[in-house]
Chain A
Amino acid sequence: MHVMIRRSPIPTLGVGLLLFGLIASTGCSRKEESRTVASVRATQADTVAFSAAGRLEDEAQRLAALQGFVKTRPNNPLSGEAYPEIVALASKLAPETVPSILKSFMQSDFNSPDPYNAIGWNLADAGEQLDLAVPILVKAVAKARAAGDSTGLSSCLDSEAWARFKAGDAKSAVAPMEEARRLARVSDDEMEQHMAFIYESAQMPEKAQPIYTALLSHMENPDLRERLTRIVTAAGGSMASVNAGINRRRAEGVQPATDFTLPSLAGGKPLSLSDFRGKVVLLNFWHYT
């Protein structure tokens, strides 16, 4: 489960990518739950302490953790009173802390791009305080560029472009988004969608069209289909031929799923993919953080 720290395009397998593993934890057993609550409370205390100590980078990362925790749990997966309490903590914390952090952020000069990217991305994705999110993310990009980490740079550029797009300036989002896409280590559907949305808003539908076509060649998505139809129709093209191309590419991409037998977390007998032959199966690859 990814949370607050802006993820790299796709988190690399087997790499602990989160600073706050406990908060990011999806474990909701009683034990896990109390650990999570304790962790959130500790995070709040840390935030206040770091704030008092002027340790802005640490403070910002912990605030992002709290915001991310609430954002990823809209349906209260925790039992009992824990969740409302955490929401109250985070919302009580946020209005007081965010503006001062953002203002200080404008003058800060950390080596790592991560705190800038984390805060900026959270704002951009929520569509909040975009006039501040954009310069913060510009700073993230500069830091990432100086660090010479192309995956991190790709992520920061994606964030910057998305903030510019959300702020209504798609034209200025084109260049950073194009660079983010070029630098991405692994193709990422979300990043592809960002690029296409930006092209579309920047009045470059001819560049958005092949991205929508490519995405629809390995997924179904009513929103993307609607956007593609709008572009093709506006250009006087034929949806029939575009759809035929998508269906051809889908058919070409179809391949047999290799069978496997693996132990079940719940115990009991191991499960094989072939046990489910005759059913539509969603095979979900994830990792616990």
Chain B
Amino acid sequence: MILSIDTANKPDLDTGFTQKLGVTFPIILDDKNVSRGVYKILGTPTNLLIDREGKIVFRHLGFAPGGEKVLDAEVEAMVKGLALQGT
């Protein structure tokens, strides 16, 4: 499950934006300053991986080379329950 937060809160984006982009995940608008106020996000992109129990397990600050592969590996480890049990 991917949830994407527009930290700049731009509700005037084209309403067909998500379909046209081909993204199947929801984009939500940060009209309550959750990004900075609650999550203390200092810059974009930041990616957090949250496990089935609602806990943040992995964090990515900024762009990382091989980003997608890295995220795949993490999700796999989390789904298999290996993320915190040694690899």
Contact = CB atoms under 8 A, between A and B. Distances in A.
Contact of B73 (A26, A221, A259): A221
A9 B62 contact: yes
Interface string B8-46: 101101111110111000111111101110110111111
A181 to B, nearest CB: 13
A266 B7 contact: no
A135 interface: no
B31 A10 contact: no
Contacts of A259: 54
Interface string A21-32: 000001111111
A18 B2 CA distance: 26
B5 A285 contact: yes
Contacts of A263: 11, 28-29, 31
B3 A284 contact: yes
Contacts of B46: 10, 284-285
B3 A282 contact: yes
Given A284-B2, A285-B45, A271 B7 contact: no
Interface residues of A, number: 67
Contacts of B74: 219-220
Contacts of B45: 284-286
B18 A193 contact: no
A278 interface: yes
Contacts of A244: 86
A84 interface: no
A26 B6 contact: no
Interface in B55-87: 55-66, 69-71, 73-75, 77-79, 83-87
B84 A250 contact: yes
Contact of A279 (B1, B56, B70, B73): B1
Contact of A265 (B6, B52, B56, B57): B6
Contacts of A188: 61-62
Interface of B: 1-8, 10-11, 13-18, 20-22, 26-32, 34-36, 38-39, 41-66, 69-71, 73-75, 77-79, 83-87
Interface of A: 2, 7, 9-14, 26-32, 77, 185-191, 193, 218-223, 225, 243-244, 247, 250-251, 253-260, 262-267, 270-271, 273-274, 276-288
Q: Which 7 interchain pairs have the tightest Cβ spacing?
A: A10-B43, A287-B8, A188-B62, A265-B27, A281-B50, A262-B28, A220-B74
Given A13-B43, A266-B27, A282-B3, 19 more contacts: A13-B42, A28-B20, A29-B20, A77-B22, A186-B62, A219-B59, A220-B70, A250-B57, A256-B55, A262-B32, A263-B11, A265-B18, A265-B29, A273-B50, A279-B52, A280-B78, A282-B1, A283-B48, A288-B6
7 contacts: A12-B42, A13-B36, A243-B86, A264-B27, A264-B28, A282-B75, A287-B7
